[in-house]
């Protein structure tokens, strides 16, 4: 039987996998492993690496069939590994066996990944980071601190950008690695959020060793590799689609129906405007996914991330206004640590309250690139507007003043 190449053939191939591995009766890892083996984990990946070499947009066909059958989306189970790690590993990994070794557990959700980019002194300006990687034989020795690392406490692998040459400009002295999070020299500490949860972390790296075989891309080319991760991150965060009236706007509609005594003309107008924005965003995402090519995502990921983050906040603000005094009732401030990725930033914990989701939404315009960064990207790369002045772009990193 020839491999599927059209949307109908991809749909039928997915249905066959679902028939053999019913999401309602088999472990999630079994279903996702079967999808990977059939080339349906990332249809745009090469054959043998979880894909079929097809257009990226056909992944929406796979996701729809799995969801309709009662299964989870792989992105929701392992958001950073599936949405950001896998495409970076495929594009820049030089050892095909090692790439395959990493990819299948990403797809099944058996090995969670995290992203070690931001630092206390390098948040939006990631290229200014100070964590160092020094060669030592066949290894690199890493020292430094990372912060805001989502899911580091459950991650098996981390995507690490470190400085390997302080004598050149900041963007040119970086190298990209995959690091074993379970090894000695990697310490993870929780960062408690105002929700009481601690899905974010700070990570301390002290003489942690990384084999050179775990390097992605050339030495000094880490910024280029990091951009691949970041573009996929924004596309993944902003690209989660659902059915009409689902997600946060669906919660707002349900809350509206449950409280007829609190309905006013002003709130009705706000809800109508929010529903229109949500539906426009959903349809735009669905069209973008269907027409996506096999290449890396472009600036459209920044558009969807920007719009989706601000919409999410506005919807939950509406919910709090509709709840009135009840919005102040929240008993979730005790420190809680999730033991998997499913309660992370992509989908709210099913047991959480509207108040929790309102508080959590404040992070939406910060994580994955702030809204200000998204607007800069769109202004410079899409609209062609002049970039912001960057006085340190050509100076050696070690000569740039740092606070």
Positions annotated as catalytic residues are: 233
If we measure between CA atoms, which residue out of 134, 136, 141, 143 comes closest to residue 164?
A: 134
> Is the Cβ–Cβ distance between 56 and 293 less than 8 Å?
yes
Helix (H, G, I), strand (E, B) or coil at 231: helix
Helix (H, G, I), strand (E, B) or coil at 153: coil
Secondary element (H or E) of residue 140: strand 139-146
Q: How are beta strands 157-163 and 139-146 bridged, if at all?
A: unpaired
Tokens 């950008």 belong to which residue? 161
> Is the Cβ–Cβ distance between 255 and 316 less than 8 Å?
no
Tokens at 135, concatenated = 């060669």
Q: How are beta strands 186-191 and 200-211 bridged, if at all?
A: antiparallel
> Is the Cβ–Cβ distance between 193 and 356 less than 8 Å?
no
> Is the Cβ–Cβ distance between 315 and 341 less than 8 Å?
no
The secondary structure of 25-92 as a DSSP string is TS-HHHHHHHHHHTT-SSTTSPBTTTB-S--GGGHHHHHHHHHHTTPPPHHHHSHHIIIIIHHHHHHH
Angle ∠(188,193,197) on CA atoms, nearest 5: 75
Indicate the DSSP class of residue 4: P
Indicate the DSSP class of residue 123: S
**Alpha-carbon distances, residue 110 vs 82, 351, 397 (angstroms):** 11, 23, 38
Helix (H, G, I), strand (E, B) or coil at 113: strand
Tokens at 46, concatenated = 């090469």
Tokens 């095909």 belong to which residue? 96
If we measure between CA atoms, which residue out of 349, 312, 311, 314 comes closest to residue 332?
A: 349
């Amino acid at each position: 039987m020839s491999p599927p190449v059209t949307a109908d053939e991809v749909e039928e191939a997915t249905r066959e996998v679902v028939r053999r591995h019913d999401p309602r009766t088999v472990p999630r890892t079994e279903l996702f492993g079967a999808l990977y083996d059939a080339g349906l984990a990332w249809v745009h990946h090469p054959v043998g690496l979880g894909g079929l070499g097809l257009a990226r947009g056909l992944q929406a066909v796979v996701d729809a069939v799995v969801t309709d059958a009662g299964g989870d989306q792989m992105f929701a189970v392992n958001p950073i590994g599936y949405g950001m790690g896998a495409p970076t590993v495929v594009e820049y990994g030089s050892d095909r066996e090692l790439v395959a070794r990493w990819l299948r557990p990403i797809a099944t959700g058996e090995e969670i990944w995290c992203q070690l980019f931001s630092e206390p002194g390098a948040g939006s300006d990631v290229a200014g980071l100070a964590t160092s990687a020094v060669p030592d034989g066949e290894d690199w020795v890493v020292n430094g601190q990372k912060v805001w690392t989502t899911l580091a406490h459950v991650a098996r692998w981390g995507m690490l950008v470190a400085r390997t040459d302080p004598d050149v400009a900041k963007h040119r002295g970086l190298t990209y690695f995959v690091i074993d999070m379970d090894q000695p020299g990697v310490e993870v500490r929780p960062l408690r959020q105002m929700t009481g949860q601690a899905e974010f972390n700070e990570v301390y790296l002290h003489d942690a060793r990384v084999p050179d075989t775990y390097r992605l891309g050339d030495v000094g080319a880490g910024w280029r590799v990091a951009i691949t991760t970041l573009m996929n991150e924004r596309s993944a965060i902003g690209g989660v689609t659902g059915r009409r009236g689902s997600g946060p706007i669906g919660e707002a509609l349900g809350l509206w129906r449950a409280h007829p005594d609190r309905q006013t003309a002003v709130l009705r107008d706000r809800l109508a405007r929010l529903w229109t924005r949500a539906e426009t965003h959903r349809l735009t995402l669905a069209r973008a996914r269907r027409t996506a090519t096999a290449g890396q995502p472009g600036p459209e990921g920044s558009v969807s991330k920007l719009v989706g983050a601000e919409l999410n906040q506005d919807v939950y603000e509406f919910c709090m206004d509709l709840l009135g005094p009840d919005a102040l009732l929240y008993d979730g401030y005790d420190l809680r640590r999730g033991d998997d990725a499913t309660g992370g930033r992509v989908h709210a914990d099913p047991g959480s309250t509207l108040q929790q989701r309102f508080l959590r939404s404040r992070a939406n315009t910060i994580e994955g690139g702030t809204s200000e960064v998204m607007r800069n990207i769109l202004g410079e790369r899409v609209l062609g507007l002049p970039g912001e002045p960057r006085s340190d772009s050509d100076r050696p990193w070690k000569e740039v003043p740092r606070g």
